[in-house]
Amino acid sequence: MAQIGLPNNSKVKKGKYFKDKTGSKNLRKVNIYRWDPSTEENPRIDTYEVDMNNCPSKVLDILNKIKNEIDPTLAYRRSCAHGVCGSCAMNMDGKNGLACTTPHKEIDGDINIYPLPHLKVKKDLIGDLDGLYKQYQSIEPWLKSNSKSETKEIFQSKEDRAKLDGAYECIMCACCSTSCPSYWWNGDKYLGPAVLLQAYRWIIDSRDEERNSRLKKVADELKLYRCHTILNCTSACPKGLNPAKAIAEIKKMLATANI
């Protein structure tokens, strides 16, 4: 049975309040989830007053500003700042997304920032994604060919290549998987939208020769069929992909294929 509430050591407490020191008139309150592994304390919500006059447009810019100018102890992942690497995936205003592509103008009221949902927190906004990467490995995301002597490139028609559109663009930021209630309650067994989208990407690749064994592998009550078309994944995806549709396509293939 799924645990709806949070365990005792995860209950969020009220934290510190950082008052603005710049004297700016254009302030915004930013509430950020904090947890320090070096203490025994519960996680807390720290509130920062941020001067919006000197802040660029994205949520990541706010975090950078806080880290540089207000509180250097804040920890979060970030790298490219252009929505390509997927490092800065987090929960902003109750929805998963990349901090570097989410404009803070689109958020009404105070800005609430949490780590990706239902993960073991390592520090502040950094969640532990080991389980997801292990599942990703389990679907063997590489091209499999039986013809070992083949040394030339394997050709693919334009039509077959077009089938990969909407699947290969995934940057594995985990926004979708951690937005999925099914993945929250059954994350140890259910593969989740991100990994299933990748499984789909290899199943439909015309160059891959292990299609049937790949299908057989995901054909499992818990691995695949925990998708109940909640569509949190599709609405969270910062790249505009549709994992829910990919999962439905896998289900359809399994229903019609003779394996």
Partner 1 sequence: MENKSPLSPHIQIYKWHVSSLVSISHRITGIINIISITLICLMVSLLVLSQNSYDTIYLFLNSLMGKFVILGITWSFSFQILSEIRHLIMDLGFGFELKISKITGLIVIFGSIIFTVIFYLIGKNIF
Binding residues for partner 1, per CB under 8 A? 4, 6-7, 9-10, 12, 33, 35, 37, 40, 42-43, 91, 93-95, 112, 114-122, 127-128, 179, 181, 184, 228-232, 234-235, 242, 244-245, 248-249, 251-252
**Minimum distance, C-beta of residue 118 to partner 1, in the bound complex (Å):** 4
- Nearest to partner 1 of 22, 235 (CB atom): 235
* CB nearer partner 1, residue 37 or residue 141: 37
User: Between residues 33 and 51, which has the closer beta carbon with respect to partner 1?
Assistant: 33
Tell me whether residue 133 or residue 213 sits nearer to partner 1 (CB atom): 133
Residue 220 beta carbon to partner 1: minimum distance, rounded to whole angstroms: 18
Which residue, 209 or 249, is less far from partner 1 as judged by CB? 249
Closest distance to partner 1 from the beta carbon of 43 (Å): 5
Q: Can you tell me the distance from the alpha carbon of 210 to that of 251, in angstroms, rounded to the nearest whole number?
A: 17
CB of 65 to partner 1, least distance (A): 23
> What's the min distance (Å) between Cβ of 145 and partner 1?
29
Residue 188 structure tokens: 């140890």
Burial class (CB in 10 A: 0-12, 13-18, 19+), 241: buried
Three-state DSSP class for residue 97 = strand
Give the bridge partners for 97, in sequence order. 90
d(CA 192, CA 200): 12
60 or 121: CB nearest partner 1: 121
Ordered DSSP codes for 126-190: EE--HHHHHHHHHT--S---S-TT--SPPP--HHHHHTTTTTTT-----TTGGG-HHHHHHTTTS
Minimum CB distance to partner 1 smaller for 9 or for 212: 9
Q: Cα(218)–Cα(246) distance, rounded to whole angstroms?
A: 13
Spatial strand order in the sheet of 13-18: 13-18, 44-51, 27-34, 111-114, 89-92, 95-98
CB of 190 to partner 1, least distance (A): 14
Cα–Cα distance, 55 to 60 (Å, whole number): 10
SS3 label, residue 194? helix
Give the shortest CB-187-to-partner 1 separation in angstroms: 10
Question: From CA 172, how far away is CA 117, in angstroms rounded?
Answer: 15
